[in-house]
Amino acid sequence: MAHTNKVVRSINLDGGIICVDIFVRPDGTYGFDEFRRDPEDGRGWYSIGHYGSTEFSSFDEALVEARRTVAWLNDVISK
């Protein structure tokens, strides 16, 4: 099955190997997850947070919860 969520905002930790994506689903709900990629592994990004199944009614709600949940996110957004 094709991945149908649309990333609205991607926030990268310095170094470019960890990020948080805020996304919208086809049903209009929002979510977020934390991902990692290893340059030596060509398979791409994979979830390390496993938060993607939680649903929010707005982008702002998803972002607030992501900032509460992912320890490094507030430092990056505050820069």
Q: How far is CA 44 from CA 22, 35, 69, in A?
A: 18, 10, 23
List the domain range (segments joined by +) for residue 26: 6-72
Work out how many domains the chain is built from and give that number: 1
Question: Looking at per-residue confidence, does 32 or 42 come out higher?
Answer: 32
∠ CA(33), CA(35), CA(40), 5° rounding? 170
Determine what percent of the chain falls in helix, strand and coil, rounding each to the nearest 5: 20, 30, 50
Within-domain flag for 57: yes
Question: Are 77 and 67 within 8 A, CB to CB?
Answer: yes
Q: Give a yes or no: residue 77 inside a domain.
A: no
**Residue 11 contacts residue 19 (beta carbons within 8 Å):** yes
Residue 31 included in any domain: yes
| 38 or 30, greater pLDDT | 30
pLDDT digits (tens, 9 = 90+) for 33-48: 999 998 888 788 889 9
Is 1 inside any structural domain? Answer: no
Does 72 have pLDDT greater than 60? yes
Residue 54: per-residue pLDDT? 96
